[in-house]
Every structure is written in structure tokens, then in C-alpha cells.
Structure 1
Amino acid sequence: MSDAAAFPPTLEYVFELRVDVAAPIRIGAPGDDDLHFAAILGGVVRGPRFNGRVLPGGGDWWRTKGDPEDTYLDARYLIEADDGATIEVQNKGHFWLADASFAAEYQARAPIPEAALYYRTSASFTTADYRYDWMNRHVFVGLARPECDVVCIRVFRLC
């Protein structure tokens, strides 16, 4: 048996996704779940390992339940590298208020500091382009934050 402390994981920052989203559509759901959808309109990808754009299409679904609210996220869309490679993105995660002192602002959907939210994702990437095969074969985590009509996700490769 190995000592977990002997080989701690590290994170490498690879890029930031800035995804433009349409106004949300409330779908609703049975019970106390509240299902929503927002279409992906486009966006940009910038970082030390990858640059490109988010292609229009795809979407972001989220299901909120409980009090306090806990939101499960599931987004799927395409990005195109500056060199033309196409990469599928599937991004899942969780979102909730991590600092109760911002409860009133959170309920009013007013801007709050990023540190007041737990907004974490796990992204998987799929591409046939050999130049980006490293994206097929690694685990990625994201630190996300909402901005007006934009979802920003700093993506890190788990090493």
C-alpha cells in the first residue's frame, strides 16, 4: 500500500472558457426539482495550452433542488481551436452558496464574490485531432463563476 502523501496531485492551468449563454428557459420538474436550460451562443477559449472559440449550439442544463439550493450542472457544446481542430466538451458540476452571509444577494440573483460560491465542474474533452489527444486522456477540473450572460470556467488539468 502506498502513502497518499508521497504523491499528491497537482493542477496545471490550461485555459479559461468564456461561454455566452441565452436567457434561461425554465422547464420545471416533478417534486422539488427545478430544471432549466440555456442555449450556448458562442464564446472564447484562451490560455497557455489552448486558444479557440466556443461554437454556437449545444446547451447548458441545470437542476436545482432543496433549501439551501444545490444545483447540478450539465453542459455540452463544441469548441474550435485557432488551428481549426474541433473538440467536444461535456462539463458537469455543482453550484451552491458557500458563504451564507451573501444569502440575500444570492436569492436576488445579484452579483456576489466568486469566493462566496461553490461552483466547480469536471470537464471531459473528445477530439480525433492528434494534436489535442492530451485532452482526451486527462482529467480536468474547473473553477467557474457567473457573469452577465456569460459563464466563465478556469480549466485545470489534474496531474
Structure 2
Amino acid sequence: MKTMHAPAAAPAAPALEHACTIVAEVAPGLPVERRGADMLEIIPITGGTVTGRISGRVEPGGADWCRERADGAYEVEARYWFRTDSGSVVDVVNVGRIAPGAPGERHGLFMSTPQFRTLDPELQWLTQRVFVGRAEAFGTHTTIDVFEVVS
């Protein structure tokens, strides 16, 4: 005889706490590769701001590698850095995907998973925790609201 178990209740979802907002100023994209209907371009990051629990300036020199896929989705991988108001350097790697637009969906809105590195002892929490980003791309900049995932 088979024993029937009641379905387990779904676990509680983690909460999100706003950590910072990054506004990365960008230059026009530079197409670098086409494979079939896929197109890869590099979007230079030229500066910007960081506000919230951390504040500072995005430094020029980073970039976002953006691949437009044949199915209408995008894959983005940005690598850049910022200097906090106190002078600390924070390295950022931010990977995301943009699904093809659904009816009523805002174009350019996407989710990402930013990761941080820094030597600053006061900012080690950035290197020890998980973050998600809600980003929106505009012509001259991308705004990323970064949230810490908390249990």
C-alpha cells in the first residue's frame, strides 16, 4: 500500500533590502561580432553615481557586453568599478538577462545579479552577501537598483 503525504507548504521567500542605486552613464554601443541573427556589442561605461547605503562615483573605463539573441532576448555582462566617497575602490560584475518584451512590459527593464569585490574592511558585507538588481536601460545611462537578499 502506497503512503500519501500531504504536500509541503512552500517555503517563505527571502526579503529584499535596498542597498544602493547605481546610475552608469554609457556611450553608444560598438558592434563587435555577428553570428547568424545574434549580435554582440560593447557599451562603454563613462561614469556615473552610486547612492544609498554606499555612495560614490562610477569611474570611466568599464563596459557592458550585450548580446542580442536571435530569439529577441538579451544577455548582458557589465564589468566596472566605483570609488566611494571615502576613497575605497569597489569592483562590480553584473550579469543579467532581458526576456523578449511581453505586451505591456516596459522595454529595457531587466533583472541582474551584481557581485562586488573590495579591500575595504567596512564594505566586506558587499563581498559576503547575495544581491539582485532591477535595472533599466536608457539611451545615455542604465539605472540599477541593487537589493540585498535577506532571510
Say whether the fold is shared (TM-score over 0.5): yes
**Correspondence for 1:22:** 27
Counterparts of 2:9 and 2:120, CA distance in 1: 37
Unpaired stretches in structure 1, ≥5 consecutive residues: 102-112
Displacement of 1:95 in angstroms is 1.4
- 1:99 aligned to 2:93? no
Displacement of 1:100 in angstroms is 2.8
**Correspondence for 2:119:** 128
Displacement of 1:58 in angstroms is 1.3
Q: TM-score, normalised by structure 2?
A: 0.87
- 1:156 aligned to 2:147? yes
Q: 1:156 to 1:22 in 2, by over 3 A?
A: same
**How large is the RMSD of aligned CA atoms in angstroms?**
1.8
More helix by share: 1
Q: TM-score, normalised by structure 1?
A: 0.83
**Correspondence for 1:141:** 132
1:36-75 aligned at under 5 Å gives the runs 36-47=41-52, 49-67=53-71, 69-75=72-78
Conserved in 1, the CA contact under 8 Å of 2:109 and 2:137? no
Quick check: which has more Rg, 1 or 2? 2
Q: Specify the code of the residue in structure 1 equivalent to 2:26.
A: V
Displacement of 1:142 in angstroms is 0.5
Q: Specify the code of the residue in structure 1 equivalent to 2:82.
A: I
More strand by share: 2
Displacement of 1:3 in angstroms is 6.2
**Residue aligned with 2:123, SS:** helix
Conserved in 2, the CA contact under 8 Å of 1:125 and 1:136? yes
Counterparts of 1:131 and 1:17, CA distance in 2: 19
Q: How big is each residue's C-alpha offset from its partner over 1:116-144, in whole Å with a ceiling of 9 and x where there is no partner? A: 55511100000011010000001110001
Identity of aligned residues (%): 31
Counterparts of 2:79 and 2:131, CA distance in 1: 15
Q: Specify the code of the residue in structure 2 equivalent to 1:78.
A: W
**Correspondence for 1:85:** 88
Q: Specify the code of the residue in structure 2 equivalent to 1:99.
A: A
Aligned residues: 143
